[in-house]
Structure formats: C-alpha cells, structure tokens
C-alpha cells in the first residue's frame, strides 16, 4: 500500500505548473452602426472574424446616425457634394477588393428605425438570433435592395430566418422598444459616437471600417 508523503523537511512543495485561469472573460468588441451605412455593411462582414481571432465576442449596437449628425453638424455622406461621389466609388472598390456583393439601393440613405427596433426586441426575446438578424438586414438592404423603410420589409427579413413576421412587425411599434432604441442612441452619443461604424475595445474608441486592421493590432498587442 502506498501513501502520500509529506515533503521533506526544509523543502517546499513543488509548484503547480498549471497557470490559474482568469475568471473574468474579455469584454466584447462593441460594434456601433446605422443599418443604412455602407461602411458599416462592409464592417459587418469582417468584425466577428477580428474579434474571434483574439478571443472576443461582438456586441452589435445599432443606433440612429441622424441624431449624431444633429450634434456634429454633419450630414449624410451620400448627400454631400464631392464627398458623396467619392464614397460611391470607394464602396464599389471595397466590394471588388473583398469579393463581396454590393449594390447601393435607390433612394439611399434611409431611416432604419424599424430594423433597429426589431434588433433590440429580438435581442431581448431571442438574443442568439439578434446578430444573424442584423447581418440579414445588411444583406437585404445592400445586396438585394429590399425596401426596409417600413415594418413590413423588416418583418420579411425576419421571416427568412424563421421568425414570426407578425410578431416582429408588432414589436417595432411597441412603446417600450421605441424607448429602448432611443436610449441606445443617446448612450452612443453620450460615449462620443459620431459616425458609423464606430467601435470600442475596452472603452478605446475607433471610427470607421478602415480601423479594423488597427483594432486587430490593438487586440494583439494589448494597446499602446
């Protein structure tokens, strides 16, 4: 029969070589966006990959960019002379470079209130389906050019994911969901969000889809 032996006198027990696990999970990469933002569409295709490579999740956060414009005095890029012409060329170029579909919808930009409200309702009732819904909305608008100005169009997108379109259409009119989206937009502006897409990595702000490579480096290096 064998028995555990106490360490010899004067000799410390061997240290456990297994490092202690960090009980605190890394904060998610926050992704703030307006569904009507082309640069946010391109970011939506890449942000989860960036986060996953560094052990992070993504917190999807739609907000109303037009409210931020009122604070900054800016206006929609698509409606800005010269800059809008450049942006349309840049969006097409980004799509070719990434090898993804992109068609700027007629009448762009829109006010994406119904889609944003539907997102926050879905995050509340079926949170695992909120991010897939957001990606489906971007695809519906910037690839299929579906009309998302009303609840019916947004409900049709939700139906494509197996959700009840009637519940979604009703949800976007709920006062509680309207108030929640208003609070999210106010939260964004209160934290200094002024454009779309906008990211936070551990409260460090980054503006623009072209900052994703910098975000990846920031995550890899732990900041600088």
Tokens of 215: 């975000």
Q: What is the pLDDT of residues 100-122, one digit of tens each?
A: 999 999 999 999 999 999 999 99
DSSP track, 47-67? HHHHHHTTT--EEEEE--HHH
Report cis status (omega within 30 of 0) of the bond before 39.
no
Domains in the chain, ordered, with CATH? 29-221 (3.40.30.10)
Please state which of the ranges 24-28, 30-34, 65-69, 212-216 shows the lowest mean pLDDT: 24-28
Q: Each residue of 5-52: pLDDT tens digit?
A: 444 555 555 555 555 555 688 999 999 999 999 999 999 999 999 999
Which range is least confidently modeled, 10-19, 110-119, 144-153, 198-207?
10-19
* Residue 33, C-beta contacts closer than 8 angstroms, at least 6 positions apart: 40, 43, 44, 60, 61, 62, 63, 196, 197, 198
Question: What letters, b where the CB count within 10 A reaches 16 and e where it falls short, cover 111-128?
Answer: ebbbbbbbbbbbbeeeee
pLDDT reported for residue 120: 98
Q: Report the share of the chain in percent with pLDDT over 90.
A: 84
Q: How far is CA 173 from the centre of its chain?
A: 23
């Amino acid at each position: 029969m064998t028995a555990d032996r106490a360490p010899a006198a004067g000799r410390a027990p061997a240290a456990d070589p297994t490092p202690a696990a960090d009980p605190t999970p890394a904060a998610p990469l926050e992704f703030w966006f307006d569904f009507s933002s082309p640069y946010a569409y391109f970011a939506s295709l890449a942000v989860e990959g960036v986060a996953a490579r560094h052990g992070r999740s993504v917190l999807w956060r739609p907000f109303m960019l037009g409210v931020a414009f009122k604070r900054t005095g800016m206006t929609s890029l698509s409606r800005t002379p010269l800059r809008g012409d450049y942006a349309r060329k840049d969006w097409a170029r980004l799509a070719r470079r990434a090898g993804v579909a992109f068609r700027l919808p007629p009448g762009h930009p829109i006010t994406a209130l119904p889609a944003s409200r539907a997102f926050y309702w879905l995050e509340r009732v079926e949170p695992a389906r909120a991010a897939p819904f957001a990606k489906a909305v971007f695809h519906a608008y910037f690839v299929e050019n579906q009309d998302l100005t009303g609840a019916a169009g947004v409900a049709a997108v939700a139906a494509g994911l197996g959700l009840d379109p009637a519940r979604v259409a009703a949800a976007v009119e709920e006062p509680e969901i309207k108030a929640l989206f208003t609070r999210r937009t106010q939260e964004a502006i209160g934290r200094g969000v002024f454009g779309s897409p906008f990211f936070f990595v551990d409260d460090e702000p980054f503006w623009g889809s072209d900052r994703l490579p910098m975000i990846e480096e920031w995550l890899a290096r732990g900041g600088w």
